[in-house]
Homo-oligomer: A and B are copies of this chain.
Amino acid sequence: MKNNPQIMVTGGLGINGIWVTRKLVEQGIRPVLFDVRDDFSLAGDWLRDKVDFVFGDVTSMDSLTEAIATYKPSCIIHMAAAISGFHQDLRKTFAVNAMGTVNLLEAAAQGGVKRVVFTSSRAAYGSITGPSAHPTYVPIREEHPAWPANAYDVGKLASEVMGNNYAADTDLEFVALRFAAIYGPGKLKTHGEFGILSKMVEKSLAGEEIDIPRGGEQQDDVIYVEDVAEAVVLAALHVKPSHTLYNISRNQGTTLHDFADAVRASIPEARITIGPGLDYLGVGSSYFGVMDNTRAREDLGFTPKYDLKAGVAAYISRLKETRP
């Protein structure tokens, strides 16, 4: 990427996107945000003057084509997604997360965009079986088979496959990042029960007791949202990534007990109880695992900066900053 690239971010005001947007601004870049809502509440209104904003929806080719023609981005970071539980609006999830990505890839390829960075998820692996599942948790490499089981999973996998095809057939570069379980401000509100880590932080901060009935033995790979944002910016600004797919993770198994200890390090009075067993999200224990991040370390120069304690501490200080 050239110096001072023009970067467009879809979903750049969302709970993950906002940290990417901030990081770009901190690096002196003025990103173009392409979003369905101009809700700056996750960052604060100070951010409005630091970015350009386009109302747009990835389900509309026209709005993508027009935004790309207007701002001529060299790179699009595509983070817009319908957040989906296991039993939500199936068609909407697919229309936004899969078809929306394909629309964006098509508009980008036609509009002369150099690179699309797609924020995928460990969900693309779907159900994890064999040695990478409980109790052995052998770190999952990018070559691991994918068993997408729900609309969210298959939307991520389909987006990746389509990105690879656009990269093969056009001049567009494509990089997909599969994130481990992300924790950070805002997730409790938007992700409901899937925001269980956020629940532990935010309810503890509010002085509330947390009782998680089951799942204390489940390990998962969890990562603080600012580490994720760092990886996204690295992928966007990298001269030329060697691969089209990277795990972005801490490469470590973490239990809810480990996370509760990190919360207690910041909030000693936290009252958290966790029951035994697996699958604290009620999604099937095969959806948890540890992701090998060797490729991202070696190729993108990615290093997670936040261990659990530092991540929770940063989370709390960000919360205080944005909730005056």
Q: Which residues of A contact B (CB under 8 A)?
A: 87, 90-91, 94-95, 98-99, 102-103, 105-106, 145-151, 153-155, 157-158, 161-162, 164-166, 168-169
Contact = CB atoms under 8 A, between A and B. Distances in A.
Contacts of A147: 145-146
Nearest to A61: B91
12 contacts: A90-B106, A90-B166, A90-B169, A91-B106, A94-B98, A94-B158, A94-B162, A98-B158, A148-B157, A151-B162, A153-B161, A155-B158
A151 B162 CA distance: 6
Residue of A91, A147, A166 contacting most chain B CB atoms (<10 Å): A91
Contact of A99 (B94, B153, B157, B169): B94
A310 B258 CA distance: 66
Residue of A95, A153, A165, A166 contacting most chain B CB atoms (<10 Å): A165
Contact of A102 (B91, B105, B162): B91
B154 A161 contact: yes
A91 B149 CA distance: 23
A90 B165 contact: yes
Given A98-B99, A106-B91, A161 B149 contact: yes
A86 to B, nearest CB: 9
Contact of A161 (B106, B150, B165): B150
Contacts of A95: 99, 102
Contacts of A105: 90-91
Given A90-B106, A149-B161, A151-B165, 5 more contacts: A90-B102, A90-B162, A91-B102, A145-B146, A157-B158
Nearest to A169: B87
Nearest to A164: B149
Contacts of A155: 158
Contacts of A153: 161
Contact of A158 (B91, B106, B158, B169): B158
Residue of A87, A145, A161 contacting most chain B CB atoms (<10 Å): A161
Nearest to A91: B106
Contacts of A164: 149
A145 B145 contact: yes
Nearest to A144: B145
A165 B150 contact: yes
Contacts of A90: 102, 105-106, 162, 165-166, 169
